[in-house]
Amino acid sequence: MIRHRDVDQLQQLSQAPGKTLTVYLDVDQNNVANRKRQFETRLKDMLRQLRASSGENDEELATTAGEIEEIVRRIEPTGKTLVLARHSKLGVTFRKVLKIALPPGGYWGNGAFMRPLIEALDEHERFGIVLVDSKRARLFTIFLGEIEEHRDLIADIPPRPDSPSTDKPRSQSRMERHHDESVTSHLRVVALEIGRLLDQLEIDRLIIGGAVGPASELARLLPKRLRTKLVEVQAIPVTASAEDILSRTAEVQTRLERADELEIIRDLLREVRKGGRAVAGMSAVLDNINEGRVWKLVYLQGLTLEGAVCDGCNMLFDPANEHCPICTKVLERETKMIDRMSRAVLEHGGHVEMVDGPAAEALRQVSEVAALLHS
């Protein structure tokens, strides 16, 4: 499973001086065309086209491409997309096989090409899933299409009497109380384990499932810091399969993501209309990125923009500009401007939000790209 430290490593590689070769390769074995390692053939074709567009005399690219091919020969295709970034001069490689599909492609330039992964991270928060009944609790995490089970807790709970006893009412009451106290103790242990898991894995959202009574009681027993992450209590059987849990969580995740996006865009539109802490349109957004004022960059899913970059000042400009207004150097054309904009915002500690559905329709009222600014 991909961890936050993996993303941090790729982020550092995206900021490294010099050129990086980034590859997103479809290795899904459910696709017949990928079997018998035919994805290696498509990789060779991808790198050949990249070298042709870059210039056959680019020896650094040729060397790095050869290294990438050697790495792929040793990769076991256990997921859907292989993400590889290689900086040959620094001898640094990022590699990860993801369980989700990302658009395939090869990219050669300054810094790793992070946009497909950034957009996937925006769509897929890290979920904690707890399935609980009166005796058992299973704790999972789900991230980027992968599910991992961390705990399977089974408590020794005394049985609850099935029917009232007319001859021993006190004993009956005592047994019921002992049973209920044992269940509550079990749920308190589960709440502690959830806290440890959330601290260890930096979980964004929490879903509790299982038997209705214990699940509701567990939600009530959560400390305040955990209740803020709880998004739903569902009647998911404690014996549910990994596939069922993934499917249920994906439905919740998509619904929450669309709702969050719409709230962000409504906030942004209010600020734009009153001339507050938001701007819309490429030129205004670029000006604020260059000044390090962007808190959250927002753009339409699938948006493609062209722009200009000054290698001397490391500033980003509208494609109409030919010379840098700061140092007067000739600007370089940039065909993957959204990626450069996203990278610049992330480097300054900001955030990136790609929007789809109703949020995208709302954003189109003002522009294809906009930004919320630091207050």
Cβ contact 80:101 at 8 Å: yes
Report whether pLDDT(230) > 60.
Answer: yes
- Specify the pLDDT at position 13: 74
Over residues 263-277, mean pLDDT: 95
- Specify the pLDDT at position 168: 57
Q: Which two tokens stand for residue 291?
A: 């000044």
Over residues 306-312, mean pLDDT: 88
* pLDDT level of residue 282 (50, 70, 90 thresholds): very high
Q: Which two tokens stand for residue 36?
A: 């018998």
- Specify the pLDDT at position 63: 93
3-class state of residue 96 by DSSP? strand
Q: How far is CA 330 from CA 18, 110, 195, 308, in A?
A: 19, 17, 54, 10
The class of domain 127-240 in CATH terms is alpha beta
- Specify the pLDDT at position 57: 77
Over residues 221-244, mean pLDDT: 92
Q: How many residues does the chain have?
A: 375
Count the alpha carbons within 13 Å of 142 in the hemisphere toward its beta carbon: 23
1.10.10.10, 3.30.1330.30, 3.40.50.620, 3.40.47.10: which CATH number matches 257-373?
3.30.1330.30
* pLDDT level of residue 266 (50, 70, 90 thresholds): very high
Q: How far is CA 37 from CA 51, 145, 357, in A?
A: 22, 23, 37
Which is nearest to 351 in space by CA: 367, 317, 318, 374?
Answer: 374
| 50 residue type, one letter | L
Distance CA 55, CA 57 (A): 5
Distance CA 242, CA 273 (A): 46
Report whether pLDDT(112) > 90.
Answer: no
Over residues 11-23, mean pLDDT: 82
311 secondary structure, DSSP code: T
Q: What is the rounded (10 degree) CA torsion for 295, 298, 304, 308?
A: -30
326 versus 14: which is more confidently predicted? 326
List the strands of the sheet with 332-334, edge to edge: 315-317, 307-310, 332-334
Cβ contact 301:360 at 8 Å: yes
| Partners of 279 in beta bridges | 371
Over residues 122-144, mean pLDDT: 90
pLDDT tens-digit profile of 164-193?
555 556 666 777 777 778 888 989 999 999
* pLDDT level of residue 243 (50, 70, 90 thresholds): very high
Distance CA 281, CA 371 (A): 9
55 versus 300: which is more confidently predicted? 300
Which is nearest to 103 in space by CA: 113, 88, 91, 90?
Answer: 113
Over residues 240-248, mean pLDDT: 94
Distance CA 352, CA 345 (A): 7
Report whether pLDDT(321) > 90.
Answer: no
Q: What phi-psi label fits residue 345: left (phi over 0), alpha (psi between -120 and 50 degrees) or beta?
A: alpha
pLDDT tens-digit profile of 75-108?
999 899 999 999 988 888 889 899 899 989 898 9
User: At which residue do the structure tokens 């997921």 appear?
Assistant: 79
Q: What ranges in the chain are assigned the alpha helix state H?
A: 4-14, 39-54, 59-73, 115-123, 169-201, 212-221, 224-227, 242-273, 282-290, 337-347, 357-363
Distance CA 47, CA 50 (A): 5
| Partners of 132 in beta bridges | 137, 210
- Specify the pLDDT at position 164: 55
Distance CA 256, CA 275 (A): 29
